[in-house]
Amino acid sequence: MGVPGLTGLVEENGSFFTELQVRDTKLVIDGSSLYHRLCFTTAADFRRGGDYGSFAAAVGEFFGSLRACRVAPFVVLDGGRGADDRKLPTLKERAAERLRAAHGLSRGEGGCLVPLLTREAFVQALGRLGVPFVQCFAEADREIAGLANRWDCPVVSLDSDFCVFDLAAGYCPLSHFQWRNVCPGEGTPGCYIPARCFSAEKFCRHFSLRNKSLLPVFAVVNGNDYVDLAALEVFFSKVRLLAGKGGKHARLQGLLHWLAQFAEPTEAVDSLLKYLKKHQREEIRELLCTSMEDYTPSDINLEDFFQNGKYKCEAASTADIPQWVLDALAKGKLPPFISDALILRSTFLHVQVENMQRPSAHTTALPIRQVIYGLLLKVSQNTEAASPSKQTSELPVVCEFDRLHKTLKKTFVQAGSLPTDFCDDHFPLDKLIEVPVSCRQMLLLETLGVKMSFLESVPSHLQLPVAVTCHWIRCSEPKVKLHQLKALLLTIVSGELHRITNDSDPTAVCAEDDAIAYNEFLKWKEKKLQNKDFDLDAAHSFCQWQCCLQMGLYLNQLLCTPLSEPELSSRLYSGTLVHRLYQELKSAPSVENLFSSSPKMTLLYQVLLNTVTS
């Protein structure tokens, strides 16, 4: 994220920072940076597909530290790609990088990869903790900067773009935000979080820049997520000489020294264009000026959202999206996947550590995605078309970016027509919220291939994961092995046991035998930690289940949650545990009786197993 090389240049010179004691303040937090940072610093194992309970615990600890220092956090999340889709080349590059990382991990090499449901777990954790958050319509950076300036408070992120924005109270990189080391403080002010704040003034002074407004020129000419201009290489071949020395950051330093001769951005751009061929100049001027505007704080009033729940944004209002969908997007009740499919008819499917010789794990969830696309894009038969020939029953098509073996591939997927019992006109997107809940529930369950009567014995908060598991068993290729299914269900039961023995949930009743079973389970976990076996085929199967759960969650959200949303943060799924249980079941089937000390958990396991195998 951000300006390539800038973080390294800034970190190399500690004099660009000022020390900060964070307490008694508002804080605007870049949600995407935060969940990536917490994921990478808490995960012990990136191969096995995510330990969402541990991740959610780290989210809780982070905001607990802020609360202890009387800090009021406001989290701002990126939304979809936006109608202009300017970042598409960068997103494709990142998807290819993730694919290389996943392939390396699948072969036992090191590396990091954000597990598939991390963002969903983060949003759920924010809701559970009561942390105010907003999901922007598109990229969040400008809105983060605008809100921080309105409140005169720092931005916390890990994105070097915030070194370029003109921020009234500065930018605190998460790498220097020591939330795990809360200091007691002396006297009345109380405890604080030690942090370091980047100073644009010190940076400009060091490189003799006369004006902070030259920083956006520096960012876009060097290249960022939106700009990568091969045409500027002629310019750089001349400018690099001005740096006077080589080294890791010669290009950046050369550019900064060159910029030092100008007082204003327009002056610098005019001078730069003289290095280029005449026929290129106007096109590149326009591109540079448009890109520099990305560093102007947005005038979207996020304060209004946090006070009144109203998110107003011109791009959203011109996108021809029903108001209830816009509201749900802003409140994080619908994911950016939905707005990308609706506006761009294009989506990215994130790769996991799976068997690259097999079809993508996302293939298993294709029937669910097709129903999502059908609900979003279905054009009613009586809609007037441009010409009679256009009035056909042809279904819309969505472009999906997914992997084919070890390469990123674009596939065109036809939106699904709704199951036969459902007339398309009964589910128009603008009126979806008004459709009776029984009809929405029936459509969800029919898509997953389950009847409600099968789920009646399952606790309500587990009905969606169980229905998704039925779909996984039915659609997975190769077929799900019994040990894999049992390992998954035992993991879900362990999450339930954790919830009733550890949570402050007043509805969770913990009997003495549950506490005994939980302690026995913890002892078993400790004993088996040395088992390092990694079964790639089993990993692929569990990846397929996560893909099905993700799309089951999205469809449930789009249908306005006719089934309760399962809590990922309550250890519904743990990749480390499910793999360990699978290995153990193969060699010692008695592990199936892991929770035998608790009649309640033994019954729950039997109910889940009987439901999905019937």
The pTM of the full predicted model, rounded to 2 decimals, is: 0.94
Mean pLDDT of 266-279: 91
Report how far residue 394's alpha carbon sits from residue 371's, in angstroms, rounded to the nearest whole number: 15
* Amino acid identity for residue 577 in this structure: L
Residue 506 confidence (pLDDT):
59
Partnered with residue 404 across adjacent β-strands are 407
First-residue to last-residue Cα distance in the chain: 48
497 is written with which tokens?
């046991």
Determine whether 273 is exposed, middle or buried from the number of CB atoms within 10 Å of its CB (0-12, 13-18, 19+): middle
DSSP string, 8-33: HHHHH-GGGEEEEEE-SSEEEEEHHH
- Residue 89 in this model has a pLDDT that exceeds 70: yes
Return the closest-CA partner of residue 38 out of 11, 65, 56. 56
Sign of the alpha-carbon dihedral angle for 549, 553, 559, 563: positive
Give residue for tokens 């300006």. 3
Give whole-number Cα distances, 563 to 357, 449, 574, in Å: 35, 15, 22
Phi, psi angle pair for 77, to nearest 5°:
-105, 145
Q: Does 393 have pLDDT greater than 70? A: no
The torsion region of residue 85 among left (phi > 0), alpha (psi -120 to 50) and beta comes to left
3-state secondary structure of 197: strand
Q: How confident is the model at residue 380 (pLDDT cuts 50, 70, 90)?
A: very low
CATH 3.40.50.1010 in the chain, residue ranges? 6-206
Cβ atoms of 193 and 177 within 8 Å: the answer is: yes
Q: What is the mean pLDDT of residues 568-576?
A: 89
- Cβ atoms within 10 Å of 597's Cβ, excluding its own: 18
Q: Which two tokens stand for residue 605?
A: 């396991």
Reduce the secondary structure of 301-370 to three states and give it as a string. CHHHHHHHCCCCCHHHHCCCCCHHHHHHHHCCCCCHHHHHHHHHCEEECCCCCCCCCCCCHHHHHHHHHH
Q: Please state, in angstroms and rounded to a whole number, the distance separating the CA atoms of residues 464 and 470.
A: 10
Q: Angle CA(566)–CA(460)–CA(361) in degrees, nearest 5? A: 40
Q: What angle do CA 63, 69, 71 make, to 5 degrees?
A: 65
pLDDT score of 265:
96
Over residues 403-414, mean pLDDT: 96
369 with 420: CB under 8 angstroms?
A: no
Q: Binning pLDDT at 50, 70 and 90, where does residue 587 land?
A: confident
Helix (H) or strand (E) holding 135: strand 133-135
pLDDT tens profile 511-536: 889 999 999 999 998 885 555 679 99
Is residue 140 a contact partner of residue 1, using CB atoms and an 8 Å limit? no
Euclidean distance between CA atoms 282 and 274, whole angstroms: 11
Q: For domain 6-206, which CATH number applies: 3.40.50.720, 3.40.50.1010, 1.10.287.1080, 3.40.630.10?
A: 3.40.50.1010
Sheet-wide strand order for 72-77: 17-22, 193-198, 171-173, 155-157, 26-30, 72-77, 133-135
The whole-number average pLDDT for the span 17-41 is: 96
Is the per-residue pLDDT at 551 higher than 70? yes
Retrieve residue 567's tokens.
Answer: 């809590």
Instruction: Provide the mean pLDDT of the chain.
Output: 90
Report d(CA 397, CA 346) in Å as an integer.
Answer: 9
